[in-house]
Amino acid sequence: MHHFTDRDGVLHAEGVPLTAIAETVGTPCYVYSTATLTRHHRVFTEVFADLGARLCYAMKANGNRAVLRLLTDLGAGVDVVSGGELALALAAGAPAERIVFSGVGKSEGELEAALRAGVHQINVESEPELDALDAVARRLGVRAPIAIRVNPDVDAATHAKITTGRAENKFGIEWTSARRVFRRATTLEGIAVKGIALHIGSQILDLAPFEAAFGKVRDLVALLRADGVPVERLDLGGGLGVSYLDDHDVPPSPAAYAEIVRRTVGDLDCALTIEPGRALVGNAGVLLSRILYRKVGITRTFLIVDAAMNDLIRPAMYEAHHAVHPVIAPPPGTDTMPMDVVGPVCESADTFARDRSLPVSLGAGDLVAFMTAGAYCAVMAGQYNGRPLVPEVLVDGERFHVVRRRPSLAEMAALEDLPPWMEER
């Protein structure tokens, strides 16, 4: 459920017409809804309440400071994957003891920063990383609280580029080595083994892969405990999908997901952590854009919009579908026709939608919203074709605020420096 709805023929974010945001802030811009974020957080907290699970929001999905502040004020912890995210989470006010540090390639500097900050847990993904962390922790005179991320070799049945729990993926320690690595970890002076972590992929729309993976973890807990390895914590990762097709692709509910967790690992006497990203923020955001031109070609009609693949790369990268909604609804009875929605970037991949059925009346100057753009959209943006990062706006009821402003072109240019042997002009 989200709070982007049509009121009197105008698409609103909560109580604010998107036309008002476009006028004040300009386009393209991302718009996020406080009510949606709050509601999703509440739903997750409620369905996991009896399991006492710790919710660590995977901020890679949307690292905006206001979004982070909102979720951490509601009580969420944060799953970070780099020293940069750690610093941003701390700066947004996340308490270190609610931070989990994941990621397949953490540098010694990043591991040291995490230990100095006093994070709740570091999820170790390889033996070399385990040794590096042990060395850093001993140098600092501390014991690093860790979970070891295992790779359960389960097919998450999602897009190949976002599946992470197969043996051929780079993530986690392979299943067959897990017992040995856990045993070894317990002998290291700088390491305090707390538990097991896993994360099998993203945009998962079927509960069966979760059930299979958590079932395997359950078996591993028994084996490890028999080996004398303490397993007090289970970090189950994220991965629950959202609807991108105007609610035609209905993901499992958080309640059904929690039920799988309860059934598979709920009775193991482990403190549970979940790391949802997309499910919390995905449909809490839209990308607002204006049509620049309607170009009628020989074989197709193009709507050229002012947003591009550098602002929202998911369609180019994963053939992802984002619904395109006219901000001002066309008069009832308006016909539709197939159109391609494309951006101004010089790549044919800069295509948001092909043959999308849209009102024939749409043309230059009209506003459109790319829906379900709260997760993995603004965070994956770049400046290709000299396009500055787009602003982000947070709506709360009747008010809105720019929570990331558009850098000026002068600021963009000032980031680059000439070597001293070249003359400034």
Ligand X SMILES: N[C@@H](CCCC[NH3+])C(=O)O
- Binding site for pyridoxal 5'-phosphate, residues? 239, 275-278, 376
**Which candidate, 123, 129, 112, 128, places its Cα nearest to that of 145?**
123
304 Cβ neighbours under 8 A, 6+ residues apart: 291, 292, 293, 294, 295, 342, 343, 344
Tell me which stretch binds ligand PLP (CB under 6 A): 37-45, 47-55, 219-227, 270-278: 270-278
Query: CB 170 → ligand X: shortest distance, Å?
Result: 11
Alpha carbon distance 362, 359 (integer Å): 6
Among 101, 210, 257, 376, binds ligand X (CB under 6 A): 376
Helices (H), strands (E): how many in the chain?
12, 21
Partner whose binding site includes residue 314, from ligand X, ligand PLP, none (CB under 5 to 8 Å by kind): ligand X
DSSP string covering 354-423, please?
EEEEEETT--TT-EEEESS-SSSSGGG---GGG-PPPPEEEEETTEEEEEEPPPPHHHHHHT----TTS-
CB of 81 to ligand X, least distance (A): 8
Phi, psi of 21 (to 5 degrees): -65, -45
What is the radius of gyration, based on Cα positions, of the chain? Answer: 23
Cα 140 → chain centroid:
32
Q: Which is it for strands 399-404 and 121-124: parallel, antiparallel or unpaired?
A: unpaired
Rounded to the nearest whole angstrom, what is the least distance from the CB of residue 197 to ligand PLP in the complex? 7
Q: How many residues touch ligand PLP (CB under 6 A)?
A: 15
What one-letter code names the amino acid at 118? G
Binder of ligand PLP out of 275, 311, 350, 366 (CB under 6 A): 275
Q: Which of 199, 216, 233, 325 binds ligand PLP (CB under 6 A)?
A: 199
- Contact at 8 Å (CB) between 149 and 103? no
Of the two residues 121 and 203, which places its CB atom closer to ligand X in the complex? 203
Q: Under the criterion CB under 6 A, does residue 165 sit at the interface with ligand PLP?
A: no
Closer by beta carbon to ligand X, 148 or else 200: 200
Identify the residue among 202, 273, 283, 310 touching ligand PLP (CB under 6 A). 202
Subset of residues 134 to 163 that bind ligand X, contact rule: CB under 6 A: 162
Written as six digits, the tokens of 357 are 């059925």
Specify the residue, 151 or 202, whose C-beta has the smaller distance to ligand X.
202
d(CA 267, CA 263): 8
State yes or no: is 346 an active-site residue: yes
Measured from the CB atom, is 169 or 301 closer to ligand PLP? 169
Window 201-220: contact mask with ligand X (x via CB under 6 A):
-xx-----------------
Tokens of 381: 């943006």
Helix (H, G, I), strand (E, B) or coil at 7: strand
238 binds, among ligand X, ligand PLP, none (CB under 5 to 8 A by kind): ligand PLP
Options 152, 276, 343, 374; binder of ligand PLP; rule CB under 6 A:
276
CA angle 210, 213, 214 (to 5 degrees): 80
Q: Does 79 bind ligand PLP (CB under 6 A)?
A: yes
Q: Which is nearer to ligand X, 72 or 203 (CB)?
A: 203
**Residue 237 contact partner, candidates ligand X, ligand PLP, none, CB within 5 to 8 A by sort of partner:** ligand PLP
Where b means 16+ CB within 10 Å and e means fewer, 38-67 reads bbbbebbeebbeebebbbbbbbbbbbbbbb
Task: Give the residue, chosen from 145, 165, 195, 277, that forms a contact with ligand PLP under the rule CB under 6 A.
Answer: 277
Query: What x/- string results for residues 90 through 129 when contact with ligand PLP is judged by CB under 6 A?
Result: ------------x---------------------------
Q: Is residue 311 a contact residue for ligand PLP (CB under 6 A)? A: no
Q: Would you count residue 58 as binding ligand PLP (CB under 6 A)?
A: yes
Q: Do the beta carbons of residue 361 and residue 320 sit within 8 Å? A: no
Query: Which of the stretches 65-73, 137-145, 274-282, 341-349 binds ligand PLP when contact is defined by CB under 6 A?
Result: 274-282
For the record, the structure tokens of 6 come out as 């049509």
Going 309 to 314 to 317 to 319, the CA torsion angle's sign is negative
Contact (CB, 8 A) for 360 and 321: no
User: Does position 244 bind ligand X by CB under 6 A?
Assistant: no
Give the residue at shortest CB distance from ligand X.
Answer: 376
- Smallest gap from Cβ 91 to ligand PLP, in A, equals 21
Catalytic residues: 346
- Contact residues toward ligand PLP (CB under 6 A) are 58, 61, 79, 102, 199, 202, 237-240, 275-279
